[in-house]
Structure 1
Amino acid sequence: MKSQGNDATGEAAPVHILTLSCEDRPGIVAAVTAELAANGANIAESSQFWDRQTNRFFMRIAFISPPGSTKDSLERALKSSVDRFGMKTALVDQGRRPKIIVMVSKFDHALLHLLYQIRVGWLNAEVAAVVSNHEDARRFAELEGIAYHHWPTTRENKAEQEQKLLDLVQRTGAELVILARYMQVFSKGLSDRLFGRAINIHHSFLPSFKGAKPYHQAFDRGVKLIGATAHYVTSDLDEGPIIDQETERVTHAMSAEDFVAVGRDIESRVLARAVKLHLEARVMLNGHKTVVF
């Protein structure tokens, strides 16, 4: 959605997005929307979901904020409802341009697709840095004027390189780390530190064919559908909460290399969609699953 609306004078007004989750009970929607209305906000979009199994309620509201309002003033206005229902909330200013870090190894198709979607404006983001354990993608980053960090990773220096990544996240203010076919496994410590802020693209339709060379595994099993999965990174390899997936039909006449070629296109699309969903605050964690609005 657009990052700005127009107020009564025709001037640009900020758009904020509120996401909330709590135990479900009557009155949640009424309380939140009443507080927003009382403070002059105009709701532009609203989605909600009740998980019957866990009795958790999830909601996303995009609203045009009144002139002069700030994130702090809006949070103060909502505090009584937040405390009353024990809500977990996040409030995002859609006018900002979030910073991201993209990590890549030798396969650069997903990185190039992200850069293109940012260039044409479909993704509202700024790439603060590209990080790689190889030099292959340096020329693409430098063409875009993006800082490139070549950090070869071995068993001996893994902890040091992961700390450098955390330092880079802190220094740049990056909100999201994207593993665009970055073929190194994060440690448990790093995965835990970045939980909910790191997205991986796995070149398979999970939960099938985890780990290395999934297209070749799929080819050996004679599958008729292959796919890709974008998920949040966790310490359990390829087990993180799934954000988006896509499949495409294949046949017995195709080679393993054909599977890989089809997969490259799917991976690029799925990762870009997942990044967009996350940056627009449309993804909410629900245990091992996600709610996607």
Structure 2
Amino acid sequence: MTAPAQALQDRACLVLHGPDQPGIVAAVAALITRNNGNIVSLDQCSDDANGGAFFQRVVFHRPELSAVLPQIEDDLQATLTPFGMHWRLTDQSIPKRMAILASTADHCVLELLWRHRRGELPVTVPMVISNHTKIAADVRSFGVPFFHVPSRPEDKSASETRILELVKGNVDFLVLARYMQIISDTFLDEADVPIINIHHSFLPAFVGAAPYRRAKDRGVKLIGATSHYVTAELDEGPIIEQDVARVTHAMSANDLQARGAYVERAVLSRAVGWHAEDRVIRHGNHTIVFA
């Protein structure tokens, strides 16, 4: 479970990556010390100590953090620029705003809302948007605003425009919780926030409709789910989390789909939680996850 908001007060999370070289760890530790911070947790790795890439996530406590964040950011800029580091600094007491897009399947969206209500996801949920109304009552039972934005197969520009009107400036990231619509490149550019998707892990096999029926016909022994960031290349974005479950010949296609839905819920929840806690670093077309 995510730490209570009070426990996150005056805690900052620094995530950085860049070319590996001597002195980075010492420079970061010294920076936190001179800004009267105390390191709470630290994770780091290098993919090659001889000319590779370096990745680090540091959480530190600093009393009256909000008042001194600009000062710390200036210090980071001066300290990390000579190392060629990319970095971001966040106040952990401020939850990220997450909008959810869904269609008719409810298992992923309701899992996220349930975990949020239990305090397991450090986010706020300003809205759920769907191209159908089937899940409206269930979403509103969580006290979350629901918006119905129909999508016409022949022209999705109007629906995407409406979704952008709803989310721009109001969210920090989007989650496609079994939202069965292809996102256009224009939407990705205009939204300008990370977008997380979930789907079965058969891809590139069994693409399209009825993947579990075709997997049953093929006699698969494992099913699973993949959560990844959305990019212009369909289902090719950096993977955040995956998992699998074993199945047998005795299970029907419906049984496979039910077990697949269970895995999808767990995988998406973990991916969302890690993103919200700044545990994920995107590096090219893959990720480093400090889980």
TM over 0.5: yes
Q: CA 1:211 to 1:89, structure 2 compared with 1: closer, same or farther past 3 Å?
A: farther
- In structure 1, the residue matched to 2:40 is 44
Give the CA deviation at 1:88: 0.9
Code of the residue aligned with 1:113 in structure 2: it is E
Which amino acid in 1 is paired with 2:188?
Answer: S
* Structure 2 Cα separation of the partners of residues 130 and 148 of structure 1: 5
1:242: how far off?
0.6
Aligned to 2:26, which of 15, 26, 30? 30
CA distance in 1, matches of 2:51, 2:258: 41
Provide the secondary structure at the position in 1 that maps to 2:159.
Answer: helix
- TM-superposed CA distance for 1:212, in Å, is 3.3
Match of 2:73 in 1: 75
Compared CA separation, residues 179 and 169, structure 1 to 2 (3 A):
same
The answer to which of 44-53 and 133-142 deviates more is 44-53
Question: Which structure 1 segments of 5+ residues have no match?
Answer: 7-11
Alignment match, 2:225? 228
Contact residue 39 and residue 66 of structure 1 kept, 8 A:
no
Q: Are the counterparts in 1 of residues 200 and 226 from structure 2 also a CA contact under 8 Å?
A: yes
In the alignment, does 2:95 pair up with 1:97?
A: yes
Q: 1:190 — aligned with what?
A: 187
Corresponding residue of 2:3: 2
Question: 1:216-275 deviations in whole A, cap 9, x for unaligned?
Answer: 232122110000111111122211111001100001111111100101111111101000
Q: In structure 1, what is the equivalent of residue 110 of structure 2?
A: 112
Q: Which amino acid aligns with 1:249?
A: R
SS at match of 2:168: helix
Deviates more, 1:129-138 or 1:146-155: 146-155
Question: What CA distance in whole angstroms lies between the structure 2 residues aligned with 1:99 and 1:4?
Answer: 15
Counterpart position of 1:134: 132
Number of aligned residue pairs: give it.
Answer: 287
Query: Which runs of 5 or more structure 2 residues have no equivalent in the other structure?
Result: none
Q: Which amino acid aligns with 1:25?
A: Q
Partner of 1:280: 277
Give the aligned residue type for 2:90: V
Q: Distance in 1 between matches of 2:128 and 2:5?
A: 29
8 A contact 2:228–2:240 mirrored in 1: yes
- Superposed displacement of residue 21, structure 1: 0.9
Letter of the 2:40 partner, please give it: A
How far off its partner does 1:182 sit?
0.5
Q: Which amino acid aligns with 1:245?
A: Q
**Does residue 178 of structure 2 align to residue 181 of structure 1?**
yes
- Matches of 2:144 and 2:6 in 1, distance apart? 31
Aligned-partner residue type, residue 56 of structure 2: M
| Inter-partner Cα distance in structure 2 for 1:196 and 1:217 | 35
C-alpha contact (below 8 Å) 1:181/1:201 kept by paired residues: yes
Cα gap change, 1:193/1:217 in structure 2, threshold over 3 Å: closer, same or farther?
farther
Query: In percent, how many aligned pairs have the same letter?
Result: 43
One-letter amino acid of the structure 1 residue matched with residue 135 of structure 2: A
Change in Cα spacing, 1:27 to 1:206, as seen in structure 2 (3 Å) is farther
TM-score, with length taken from structure 1: 0.91
- 1:5–1:15: 8 Å Cα contact kept in structure 2? no
